[in-house]
Amino acid sequence: QDRIEEDKEKGAIVEERRRVLSEWLAWREKEEEELKAERRELGLKEDVEEEEQADGEDGGGAVVE
């Protein structure tokens, strides 16, 4: 019985983490899109040089974190 309870609890934590992570990734994606659009408006290149690309790989976005 204890084990079932424990598993349930674990499951709930994992579920919550999934939610939090998806929410974050969605927010990053939205921010990155908005920034790109604003850069276009200003006549700048969409992508912000290598360093931000490196960060995109990391930090943010839909790519990899």
Partner 1 sequence: MRPILLQGHERSLTQIKYTKDGDILFSCAKDQVICAWFSANGERLGTYHGHQGALWTIDIDPSTTLLASGAADNTVRLWDIRTGKCIKVWDFNTAVKRVEFNDDGTKLLAVTEKRMGYLGTIVVLDVKVDVEAEQSDERSLVITCDESKATVAGWSYLSRYIIAGHEDGTVSQYDAKSGDLLINEPVHEDGGQVTDLQMSSDRTYFITASKDKTAKLISARDLTLLKTYPSDTPLNTAAITPKKPFVILGGGQAAMDVTTTSSRQGKFEARFYHKVFEDEIGRVKGHFGPLNTVAVDPLGRGYASGGEDGYVRVHAFDRGYFDFGYEVEREMGLVGKR
CB of 8 to partner 1, least distance (A): 16
Binding site for partner 1 (CB under 8 A): 14, 17-18, 20-21, 24, 27, 31-32, 34-35, 38-39, 42, 48, 51-52, 54-55, 57-60, 64-65
Q: Which amino acid, one-letter code, is at 25?
A: L
Is the CB of 5 or the CB of 51 nearer to partner 1? 51
Residue 17 vs residues 22, 23, 25, 51, 53: alpha-carbon distances, Å: 8, 10, 12, 29, 26
Is the CB of 6 or the CB of 54 nearer to partner 1? 54
Q: How many CA atoms lie within 13 A of 61 on its CB side?
A: 16
